Structure 1
Amino acid sequence: MTTIRLLLIFCLGICTSARAQFSDSAHYYFNYNSTGSINKTNDGSSYLLNNGFKFSVKKKTGVLNLNNNWIYGRSQTDLTNNDYNASLDFDLYQKKIPHFYYWGLANYTTSVSLKINNQLQTGAGAAYSLYDKPNAYLNISEGLLFETSNLFLNDTTHDIYHTFRNSLRVQFRFVVKNIFVIDGSNFLQNSLSRGSDYIVRSNLNLSVKLQKWLSFTTAFNYNKFNRTSRENLLLSYGLSFEKYF
């Protein structure tokens, strides 16, 4: 309950701060994607479902994003994935320095495959867009995160700790002929107190637009959580729905 309470308090603070900054007219974006894979043979079956939801409010002074992702998978009768991630983040643009902005983040994770019972990260930093065009975008960001976590070292032993992490992110998006879209976010998060404690996240997507609002999407997701010596790699495909209003 303490973790959830901290997340709600931080999210409320983010929303209040962002709302105070957003004084011009708003533009909204909604995206839902559902990808997965099924394998069935005479010897058994396995399946994986990957569902994601994103909602954004964008104005001249900044943007507020809400992201949710749930991955569920089974192989035979064994549960392989029940991984949920929710994040609320905002960017505040700077008029005096083009392509530069400040960001803030609250992120919650629970993951069977990575042996994370609960993880809460909150933090802030700065980012700069090395290239920023309608059809091509490349951005790098750096910041500091405070993390509180409850991990499973085994079935009976928990690792409960707090740490500060450096967070490095490289983000990109390329659109080819308004049909093909390649985008991704890659994170490296090192603990400042323990060199062997680091997190690697990579999310890559290739989409082909079928309609203005509908795309066929292939998603590649890789996560490594060195503290629990766990990693997962997911390759799935399905449909993505998006709407600007």
Structure 2
Amino acid sequence: MTYKHLLLLLFILITHNCLAQFNDTTHYYTKFASSGSINKTESSSTYLLNNSFKFGVKKKSLAMNFNNNWIYGKTDHEITNNDFNTSLDFDIQKDSARFYYWGLANYTTSISLKINNQLQAGGGVAYDLVKTKVSMLNLSDGILYDRGDLFLDDDTHDVYNTYRNSFRVLFKFVIKDIIVLDGSDFVQNSFTRGSDYIIRSTTNLSVKLRKWLSLTTSYNYNRMNRTARENSLLSYGLTAEKYF
């Protein structure tokens, strides 16, 4: 069974189990963001596109999110980024409690980080340190199973299996219903190799032009220490979102 087939199976199973519990009080959320940057001179040209799509379902004690992100870039006709990430996560929370459980299935392929295929799946616990209508700060920790196929150089594949501790900081702050600062930071350490760790960081600053449309600046940082590769991306563009 391939990575994509396994991820599809996890998606079907989790979706079936979650949607079976939903009724007319279910809330849905969609978000699409497209940003990028272009730099051209007489001797060179560089451009970067960063597109993401999110679909969420929430009902009382259960929430599910399907996230997709694609980054594509070229420098002087040479591809520097063709990075795709898709994930399915769900949270189980009782009433208004700040403590809850989470589960995750994640697939990644990335030229810039030298990831041919990477599949992660696992779960853990999370806690809301701050949770109001205009601010949120959340900490979570858990265990992920990581199966990867990496490029250490042009000729060598690093195919591995490991378990990782996954620690995350999630935040969102809204100022006067116009300015929104949100993001997430992950650190994932292997239990078997101290030098094998992953860092993922995303920060977004948005200014609302309409209730459903925002001007957004995004900063993304990723490091795969197993391949000694990292990328740092700053882009700007538009975000459209809708609750229904």
TM-score bucket of the superposed structures, by smaller chain: over 0.9
Partner Cα distance (2:8, 2:210) in 1 = 37
Match of 1:92 in 2: 92
The one-character-per-residue Cα deviations of 1:157-207 (angstroms, maximum 9, x if unpaired) are 100010000000000000000000000100000001111000000000000
SS in 1 for 2:5: helix
Match of 1:41 in 2: 41
Match of 1:177 in 2: 176
Give the deviation of 1:145 after TM superposition: 0.2
Indicate if the aligned counterparts of 1:24 and 1:59 stay in contact, CA closer than 8 A.
no
Indicate if the aligned counterparts of 1:70 and 1:83 stay in contact, CA closer than 8 A.
yes
Give the deviation of 1:156 after TM superposition: 1.1
Mark the runs of 5 or more structure 2 residues left unpaired by the alignment. none
Match of 2:238 in 1: 239
Give the deviation of 1:25 after TM superposition: 1.4
Q: Which residue identity is paired with 2:65? A: N
Indicate if the aligned counterparts of 1:103 and 1:124 stay in contact, CA closer than 8 A.
yes
Match of 2:188 in 1: 189
Give the deviation of 1:23 after TM superposition: 4.8
- What TM-score, normalized to structure 2? 0.97
Give the deviation of 1:20 after TM superposition: 4.0
Partner Cα distance (2:21, 2:93) in 1 = 10
Give the deviation of 1:17 after TM superposition: 2.6
Match of 1:224 in 2: 223
Partner Cα distance (2:150, 2:239) in 1 = 32
Partner Cα distance (2:167, 2:18) in 1 = 23
SS in 1 for 2:58: strand
The one-character-per-residue Cα deviations of 1:112-158 (angstroms, maximum 9, x if unpaired) are 00000000000011101001001000000011000100001111110
Indicate if the aligned counterparts of 1:21 and 1:61 stay in contact, CA closer than 8 A.
no
Match of 2:57 in 1: 57
Match of 1:153 in 2: 152
Q: Which residue identity is paired with 2:83? A: D
Partner Cα distance (1:15, 1:241) in 2 = 24
Partner Cα distance (2:144, 2:22) in 1 = 25
User: What percentage of residue pairs aligned between the two structures are identical?
Assistant: 61
- Confirm or deny that 1:115 pairs with 2:114: yes
SS in 2 for 1:42: coil
Q: Which residue identity is paired with 2:10? A: F
Indicate if the aligned counterparts of 1:201 and 1:223 stay in contact, CA closer than 8 A.
yes
Indicate if the aligned counterparts of 1:14 and 1:104 stay in contact, CA closer than 8 A.
no
SS in 1 for 2:211: coil
Partner Cα distance (1:23, 1:143) in 2 = 30
Q: 1:36 to 1:110 in 2, by over 3 A?
A: same
Q: Which residue identity is paired with 2:138? A: N
Indicate if the aligned counterparts of 1:105 and 1:122 stay in contact, CA closer than 8 A.
yes
Partner Cα distance (1:149, 1:164) in 2 = 11
- Confirm or deny that 1:208 pairs with 2:172: no
Q: Which residue identity is paired with 1:90? A: F
Aligned length: 244
Give the deviation of 1:24 after TM superposition: 6.0
Q: Which runs of 4+ in 1 moved over 3 A?
A: 20-24
The one-character-per-residue Cα deviations of 1:12-43 (angstroms, maximum 9, x if unpaired) are 22113323443561111110000000000001
Q: Which residue identity is paired with 1:3? A: Y
Indicate if the aligned counterparts of 1:166 and 1:192 stay in contact, CA closer than 8 A.
yes
Partner Cα distance (2:151, 2:194) in 1 = 20
